[in-house]
């Protein structure tokens, strides 16, 4: 058994978390210090933590609706990536 070091990062990262292949829903995880601003830009609000909310996803550049989705907000500390 090897101990894994946990490192802190000042970067905001995102990654597709959907299984490869055809899927009815895409999952994107965003983690890091700019996550709140990204969520505000896409939805216009910060939802209640740890509760799924149906939201309109809008283009931050022009406000046009680009999709609908479920958002879960896990503010730190204690939301491990």
Tell me, yes or no, whether 1 lies in a domain.
no
CA distances from 46 to 17, 25, 66, 76 (A): 21, 21, 18, 14
Residue 44 domain boundaries: 13-71
pLDDT at 9: 64
| pLDDT, tens digit (0-9, with 9 covering 90-100), for 34-48 | 999 999 999 999 989
Residue 4 maps to a domain: no
What DSSP line would sit under 17-56, residue for residue? -SPSS--SS--EEEESTTHHHHHHHHHSS-PPTTS-EEEE
How high is the mean pLDDT in each 10-residue block of the chain (81 residues)?
62 84 82 90 90 91 91 78 55
62 domain residue, yes or no:
yes
Q: Tell me how many domains the chain contains.
A: 1
Give the pLDDT of residue 64.
95
The pLDDT value recorded for residue 13 is 87
pLDDT confidence of residue 22: 80
Quick check: is 6 in a domain? no
The pTM score is 0.71
């Amino acid at each position: 058994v090897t101990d894994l070091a946990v490192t802190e990062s000042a970067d905001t990262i995102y990654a597709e978390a959907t299984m490869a292949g055809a899927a009815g829903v895409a999952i994107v995880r965003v983690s890091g210090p700019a996550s709140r601003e990204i969520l505000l830009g896409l939805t216009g609000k910060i939802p209640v933590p740890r509760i799924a909310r149906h939201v309109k996803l809008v283009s931050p550049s022009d406000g046009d609706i680009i999709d609908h989705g479920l958002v879960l907000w896990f503010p730190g500390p204690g939301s491990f990536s």
